[in-house]
Amino acid sequence: MTVREITVQGHQALHQPTKRVREVTDEVRTLVADMFDTMEAAEGVGLAANQVGARLRIFVYDCPVPDGPNARGLVINPVLERLGTPAPLDEEEDGEGCLSVPGEYFPLARHPQARVTGTDLDGNEVVIEGEGLLARCLQHETDHLDGTLYVDKLIGPLKREAREAAKDRGWAERGITKWDPSAGKAEDV
């Protein structure tokens, strides 16, 4: 398939809620295949449709889990349920990154478990439950589809640090709104 460009923080597509998928068409199937290729090329663990410019409520994931193969799949029209109470922020353990904020990592407390329900490409119900990194991934990707970046959820000094990092990267000043994962590493954007 095709590796698509990934939108960068500041692009309006990342700050607008996505639309429900009403019908799985050939275009939707192509989008999903391209999203898997793009996620792999970018070395990510998840990717939401609006990160590649499609305002549809879809995400793909390929997330490491302890003692087993990666959890891999897709969810159309996901509904997220956050489970448990977030522990106090641990700046060492709670680091999070994003393909749309390339090269930056900030700690963000998340719920320790999450469940997402939705459908697959054939209309079958999908239920994914996870903890640890998979729970973080499910929350992160669903947030994308709601028009929220993880850096939008940071508070206090971490929020200021994230703003400064984005400013230092100079994406807006250089007119950068997307990056091509097939052309190089995210950190080079």
Report the binding-site residues for Fe cation. 98, 140, 144
- Spot the catalytic one: 40, 92, 141, 164: 141
DSSP conformational letter for 70? P
Structure tokens at 82: 């956050």
Residue 154's alpha-carbon distances to 13, 25, 84, 148, in angstroms, are 20, 37, 20, 11
> Does 40 participate in catalysis according to the annotation?
no
* Active site residues per annotation: 141
